[in-house]
A = this chain, B = another copy of it.
Amino acid sequence: MLKQATATKSAPQAHSTQYGAVFAARRTDANPLDILGASMPFVRNVEIYGEDDPADYFYKVVSGMVRTCKILSDGRRQINAFYGPGEFFGLEVNGTHTLSAEAVEDTIVLVIKRSTIVTLANSDSQVARQLWLIAARELQRMQDRALLLVKSARERVAGFLLEMASRREDDAVELPMSRQDIADHLGLTIETVSRTLTQLTNAAAIALPSARHIVLRNRDALALLNA
């Protein structure tokens, strides 16, 4: 079992007041969840909220990538999910976060007050429905992850790459996260992740022009990887 956890720069005052509504919200989208709230930038490895923090806000990634994670008592770190542009995170039913959230790379997120959402959902059933969809996606995501975690290292890595690639049309995927992030997400060590990627390269399933730039050469082979 590994026992490390990448140090995270603490955001002195994550986003209490000083950012306020400095950044104008976009209005391009018809979705009510998009036209309220304020954009906020977070630099690489900065915490957006912490475990057990009050969940007064709800978030949507505008650009960049966010990871949600948990530090275990023995120091291991578990990354529950990665969120890319357009994805929501930080929704909690009771008022407390159960995970922390950090910017994987320099990231802009839309921050929406929880109370605003709750009020809106009470009057607008479309908003309420959308919240259900977000929650359902979250559950599905966790189920898929649990499914991955019972498989072999090759299947886990292949599944992870396919998930990352599913967000874009292209076969070329830019991975903003480190090998350690991937390892902590898949329940493997960085060495195993690295080795598995070179295996997949040798098997011509992927190409690896540089460490964080991956090209899917054979999606079917990845999908069928059960050995």
Contacts and interface: CB of A to CB of B under 8 A. Distances in A.
B122 A122 contact: no
A167 to B, nearest CB: 20
A140 B73 contact: no
Given A70-B147, A135-B139, A139-B135, A152 B122 contact: no
Nearest to A129: B93
B133 A93 contact: yes
Interface residues of A, number: 34
B93 A143 contact: no
Contacts of A14: none
A187 B132 CA distance: 29
Nearest to A147: B78
Contacts of A149: 146, 149-150, 187
A152 B74 CA distance: 13
Given A139-B138, A226-B73, A93 B132 contact: yes
16 contacts: A1-B152, A74-B226, A76-B150, A80-B143, A80-B146, A93-B132, A93-B135, A94-B136, A98-B140, A122-B125, A128-B128, A132-B135, A135-B135, A135-B139, A145-B146, A149-B150
Interface of A: 1, 70, 72-74, 76, 78, 80, 92-94, 98-99, 122, 125, 128, 132-133, 135-136, 138-140, 142-143, 145-147, 149-152, 187, 226
